[in-house]
Amino acid sequence: MEQLLTFFDLAGVFVFAISGALAAVRKGMDVFGIMVLALMPAVGGGTLRDLVLGEPVFWVQNTASIWAALAAAALTFFVAPKLESRMRWLIWADAAGLALFCVVGAEKALTVSGSPLIAVMLGVATGVAGGIVRDIICNEIPLVLKSESEIYATAAFVGAGLYCIMIFFALPPTYALWAGMLAAFLTRAAGIKYGWRLPKALY
């Protein structure tokens, strides 16, 4: 279980860092800007989660996350010029990071607080906060706030919620982690592919 959590955490850091680095490349930033922007989504959500929970910030305790983010930034620096649609790659990297981080965030919040409600809320926050910081730095409306955007934060809610439900019914935590991550990713993927959106209020 601990090894799977570590894997999910580092994988989430890596793919979210790629999304940040791709955003920096799209904005024409230099290598330093790419590294900085890669770190924002990679550690932003987890930092908020840990501060709210009163826990030591994860990347201060273990610098492996920083190194993973920098490795993703370096990879993107060399590969991005060869990609045809950087925005498309950014969206899918962001979807993967969202799915991974929402369940990792929910697991940690549930362990610390014991409250499924808090766990779901902080699972969503872990998944979306870093991307918000990334987009604000790029002077863009965050994906989660775009009125025309497909299902986004809802996908994190689905993943974190399913994880907490499975834990409540005493199902194996490993299964809960995989199920939550897959549910979040598939929900977000369906939103991207089919343009699913939440209903708006009628005027």
Q: pLDDT tens across 25-68, in order?
A: 988 999 999 999 999 999 999 999 999 999 999 999 999 999 99
User: Is 119 strand, coil or helix?
Assistant: helix
Q: Is residue 91 part of a domain?
A: yes
CA separation for the pair 164, 160 (Å, rounded): 6
Q: Is residue 200 part of a domain?
A: no
Read off the pLDDT of each residue in 74-97 and give the average, rounded to a whole number.
Answer: 84
At residue 87 the predicted structure's pLDDT band, cuts being 50, 70 and 90, is: confident
**Interacting residues of 130 by C-beta distance below 8 A, sequence separation 6+:** 16, 20, 40, 41, 42, 43, 44, 45, 46, 97, 101
At residue 144 the predicted structure's pLDDT band, cuts being 50, 70 and 90, is: confident
Q: Is residue 199 part of a domain?
A: no
Question: What is the pLDDT, as a whole number, of residue 81?
Answer: 78
Tell me how long the chain is: 203
- Angle, in degrees to the nearest 10, between helices 116-137 and 31-53: 160
Nearest to 106 by CA among 8, 3, 7: 8
Q: Retrieve residue 39's tokens.
A: 């770190």
DSSP string over 3-42? HHHHHHHHHHHHHHHHHHHHHHHHTT--HHHHHHHHHHHH
Question: What is the pLDDT, as a whole number, of residue 202?
Answer: 65
Q: Is residue 201 part of a domain?
A: no
Q: Is residue 36 part of a domain?
A: yes
pLDDT tens, residue by residue, 121-131: 999 999 999 98
Question: What is the pLDDT, as a whole number, of residue 88?
Answer: 83
> Domain range for residue 181?
2-194
Q: Is residue 41 part of a domain?
A: yes
Q: Is residue 131 part of a domain?
A: yes
Nearest to 153 by CA among 181, 129, 179, 182: 129
Question: What is the pLDDT, as a whole number, of residue 106?
Answer: 97
Q: Is residue 202 part of a domain?
A: no
Question: What is the pLDDT, as a whole number, of residue 122?
Answer: 97
Q: How many domains does the chain have?
A: 1
